[in-house]
Amino acid sequence: MRNKLRLLTPGPTPLPEEVRLALAQDMVHHRKAGFKEVLHRVQEGLQWLFGTRQPVLPLTCSGSGAMNAALWNLFAPGERVLVVDAGKFGQRWGDIAQSRGLEITAIRLPWGVAVSPAQIQEALDNDPSIRGVLVQASETSTGVLHPIREIAEITKVRETLLVVDGISAVAISPCPMDDWGVDCLLTGSQKGLMLPPGLAFIALSPRAWNEVERHPCAVAYFDLLRERENCGKNQTLFTPAINLLNGLDVSLHLFRKQGLEEIFRKQWALTCMTRAGVQALGLDLMVKENYTWGLTSILLPQGMDGQRLLEIAARDYGVVMAGGQDHLKGRIVRLGHMGHVDFADILAGIYALRQSFKACGGHSGSRDYLEISLAAYQQALDHKT
Ligand SMILES: *Cc1c(COP(=O)(O)O)cnc(C)c1O
């Protein structure tokens, strides 16, 4: 029997049919009136989604491209940044900062732990030369949610820019850029936005733009000043991924029909549902507190072959989940619940997790695990905190 495939990975994520149809359209020319209208509409939608009055620049690249663009435009070689290194993507901040010739102070945390605002405060107090704090809103390699709002309280009263990789947070959990005082927020298309990979988006605060204007431009492809100029004319500097922007037009329309609060409420409920189901199966959650709303990381018992478990879930149940990265490879399962995913997908995911866990020699927990997870879902929908 061949099951329907369900992509429950923390990116890429499944697509709504409306978006897939938009992606399938024939090409239009990107400098003609019709497409300018699309760019204009998309710009308004992106500003709404990011919670900003500043332009949100679409870049044709994966999410890491926007991380690159941020550091190459905001800082000059020799300037010091504080990197929150709590997983694979925190490390990526460090790698990109190094490629830009920045001096790095790192807060290194065990995987699965969120940074505390006090740690940021201390680091900045110790070294007033730090010009930027680089952090993930959601560290996708572990499933941790960093306290962006509290960190912004610290950075906004100093001359320190807060640069946030929101790739697995935007359209998943709140990060209203202007309200919180985030200086740079960026994301990619294939996580929360219900799109394929290939687009990234970046917005800067007025004081971050001042920094960009202060530095000579270091890169031609990611020249944000020129992108901003083009954005003002409903254009992009280079040929954009036209079909992805058509898809974005549709996904933003779907989001706006729901409203931000509904989107976040659903994400929160899916998170509660997954966590309750996993615990009812007698499995351990990797992140006990400060967990992200877009994926759930599950610790496997010592000695179990996590790769095999994932293969069985995909082969026999059509459920594709992700494993761990680096030292967590084979040790954890990351079940993604971001993008176009609903409670029925999570039911299938938890069932597949249980069956493949048993096939790998695991014990099975409560027989009521599906009801327990559904009850948690309903309760979260009813009382969103
Ligand atoms: C997925 C992800 C990235 C990498 O994005 P790419 O599109 O693969 O370049 C970076 N940061 C976070 C938090 C992510 O979830």
Question: Over the stretch 162-184, which tens digit does the pLDDT of each residue have?
Answer: 999 999 999 999 999 999 999 99
Q: Residue 371 pLDDT > 90, yes or no?
A: yes
Q: Is 87 in the pocket of ligand 1 (CB under 6 A)?
A: no
Model confidence over 35-47: pLDDT tens digits? 999 999 999 999 9
> Does residue 350 contact residue 362 with C-beta atoms inside 8 Å?
no
Distance (Å, whole) CA 266 – CA 268: 5
Tell the residue number behind the tokens 């390699």, with chain if given.
141
334 annotated to a ligand binding site? yes
Q: Within 10 A of 223 (CB to CB), how many other CB atoms are there?
A: 18
AA identity, residue 93 = W
Distance 67 CA to ligand 1 centre (A): 9
Distance (Å, whole) CA 107 – CA 382: 38
Mean pLDDT of 268-284: 97
Distance (Å, whole) CA 279 – CA 290: 17
Q: Residue 343 pLDDT > 70, yes or no?
A: yes
Mean pLDDT of 104-133: 98
Q: Residue 364 pLDDT > 80, yes or no?
A: no
Distance (Å, whole) CA 206 – CA 202: 13
Mutate to test the pocket of ligand 1, among 92, 167, 187, 195 (most ligand atoms within 8 A of CB): 167
What letter does residue 319 receive in the DSSP assignment?
A: E
Position 384 scores a pLDDT of 57
Mean pLDDT of 110-126: 98
Quote the tokens at residue 301. 């018992």
Under the banding of pLDDT at 50, 70 and 90, the label for residue 385 is low
Mean pLDDT of 287-309: 97
Q: Residue 217 pLDDT > 90, yes or no?
A: no
Q: What angle do CA 256, 259, 265 make, to 5 degrees?
A: 140
Tell the residue number behind the tokens 């945390």, with chain if given.
109
Distance of CA 27 to the CA centre of its chain: 29
Distance of CA 12 to the CA centre of its chain: 11
Under the banding of pLDDT at 50, 70 and 90, the label for residue 193 is very high
Mean pLDDT of 271-295: 97
Distance 89 CA to ligand 1 centre (A): 7
Position 302 scores a pLDDT of 93
Distance 226 CA to ligand 1 centre (A): 24
AA identity, residue 380 = A
Q: Which atom of ligand 1 is nearest to the CA of 190?
A: 7
**Nearest Cα to Cα of residue 102 among 74, 124, 121:** 74
Under the banding of pLDDT at 50, 70 and 90, the label for residue 48 is very high
Position 2 scores a pLDDT of 84
Distance (Å, whole) CA 276 – CA 2: 28
From residue 159, give the alpha-carbon distance in Å to each of 10, 19, 107, 200, 228.
34, 41, 19, 27, 23
Q: Is 11 in the pocket of ligand 1 (CB under 6 A)?
A: yes
Q: Residue 237 pLDDT > 90, yes or no?
A: yes
On the CB side of 53, how many CA atoms lie within 13 Å of its CA? Answer: 4
Under the banding of pLDDT at 50, 70 and 90, the label for residue 213 is very high
Domains, the chain, with CATH or none: 17-257 (3.40.640.10), 260-382 (3.90.1150.10)
Quote the tokens at residue 120. 């940021």
Q: Residue 160 pLDDT > 90, yes or no?
A: yes
| Mean pLDDT value across the chain | 97
Distance 159 CA to ligand 1 centre (A): 27
Beta bridge partners of 352: none
Residue ranges in 26-171 assigned as alpha helix (H): 33-50, 63-74, 88-99, 117-126, 148-155
